[in-house]
Amino acid sequence: MTDPPPRLTPNTRMFSQPIHGVRSRPTIATIIFAAWVIPSMVSPSHTTRADEPVKIDAKMCASSSEVWLVNSRCAPSCGDLDAGFSQIRYWRLDESSSCGKWQPSDAVAFQIAGRPGVPTTVLLHGNLTDDDWAVQHGNEIYASMKRQSCGGAFRLVVWSWPADRIARRPRADVQLKVCRTDAEAYYLARLLPNLPRGTPVCLIGYSLGARAVGGALQLLSGGSMSGRSLAPEVLAAWRNGPSRPIRAMLLAAAMNFDWLEPSCPEGLAPLAVERILVTQNCSDKVLKWYSHLYGRNGPEAMGFVGPSGSADGKLEVVNVACEVGRKHDFNLYQGSAAVSQRLGWYTFLCDSPAGK
């Protein structure tokens, strides 16, 4: 018997009720170093019965949109990742009743449900984020996309990866999650070729989730991550036939600032995309500590100092320091004017960014 998935709530600014278990208040050490993807610096607590019905306000969902939850938390982070790919779980939001519910699904149904020409957006959260908060982040993006879609069809995929605390020490925990994002990059790169040919794709990664997005693009461009590369048949499935245009948004990216440069080992990622948005915030007090992840004087975070180059003109860098400030908060980043005004274009919902 599988556990019910978290709910997608209609309250896009109020997430005071995580669904399963109790969320504890983060420690000072966590805030200073490891919580670069914590949804908010103080998380409220709430408990819910495991069999509590999962309800959604139907007004948040339009018949032209789809919402999926892809959960890789049971998939391995090492060993045979191709076998681990089959352990990824799928849930689809059922809107047939007045209150939508998550319904268990599978990879075949996910692939069949895709419609050529209908854009698909995949959202990857950051560290210290459980299933409920992953969906809360998805709720924020979903509401913004609805406002900009003008009734147009789209599909949102909330990618939930194992970002709960593993190690007691914050630094060690983040180091483990960095390794895990390499596996997530592989799983994401395996999934995308299953989308219908001609499907526009937007990948949104927040903090460590941005690292997974960059890794997936690297793999789809024929490169490798942590010694892994896609099988020839997977690459052929991605490259053959009508292309799937890709745009990416890297919010508060917890990845090396030079990662997208052609001279770097991970520099192939820009080859897979039309355009990449990168937020820069030199005031972010969490990304500030990225250079100390493996000792002193390490590489700075891309989300802190910005990328080192332009990736042949494919990068768009927006400075959100004045609006976001020192907090490392997903809602502040995705709600900033520079990001929200561009969301519609990067998700293929409108022809140009708002206000342009």
Tens of pLDDT, residues 26-65: 433 333 333 333 333 222 233 333 333 233 344 444 458 9
What average pLDDT score do residues 273-300 get? 95
Q: pLDDT at residue 198 above 60?
A: yes
What mean pLDDT is predicted for residues 53-79?
74
Amino acid at 245: P
Structurally, the chain folds into a number of domains equal to: 1
Q: Average of pLDDT values for 68-83?
A: 97
In a domain, 183, yes or no: yes
In a domain, 58, yes or no: yes
Q: What is the pLDDT of residue 266?
A: 85
pLDDT at 35: 37
Q: Hey, what are 48's tokens?
A: 């819910």
Cα 209 from Cα 212, distance rounded (Å): 5
- The residue range of the domain holding 295 is 28-346
CATH of the domain at 333: 3.40.50
Each residue of 146-174: pLDDT tens digit? 999 988 999 999 999 999 988 888 889 99
Is 235 domain-assigned? yes
Q: What is the mean pLDDT of residues 106-130?
A: 95
Q: Is 228 exposed, middle or buried (0-12, 13-18, 19+ CB in 10 A)?
A: middle
Place 98 in a pLDDT band, splitting at 50, 70 and 90: low
Nearest 5°: phi and psi at 66?
A: -130, 145
Who has greater pLDDT, 198 or 48? 198
Token pair listed for 290: 């990225």
Residue 1 pLDDT > 70, yes or no? no
* Inside any domain, residue 351: no
Q: pTM of the full predicted structure?
A: 0.85
Q: Has residue 356 been placed in a domain?
A: no
> What integer is the mean pLDDT of 263-281?
94
* Structural domain includes residue 14: no
Q: What is the pLDDT of residue 263?
A: 86
244 falls within a domain: yes
- Lowest mean pLDDT segment, chosen from 133-137, 194-198, 238-242: 238-242
In the chain, what percentage of residues exceed pLDDT 90? 69
Asked if 132 contacts 45 with a C-beta cutoff of 8 angstroms, the reply is: no
What is the pLDDT confidence band of residue 6, given thresholds at 50, 70 and 90?
low
| Residue 185, strand partner residues | none
pLDDT for the residue numbered 2: 53
In a domain, 197, yes or no: yes
Q: What is the mean pLDDT of the chain?
A: 84
pLDDT digits (tens, 9 = 90+) for 308-321: 989 989 999 999 99
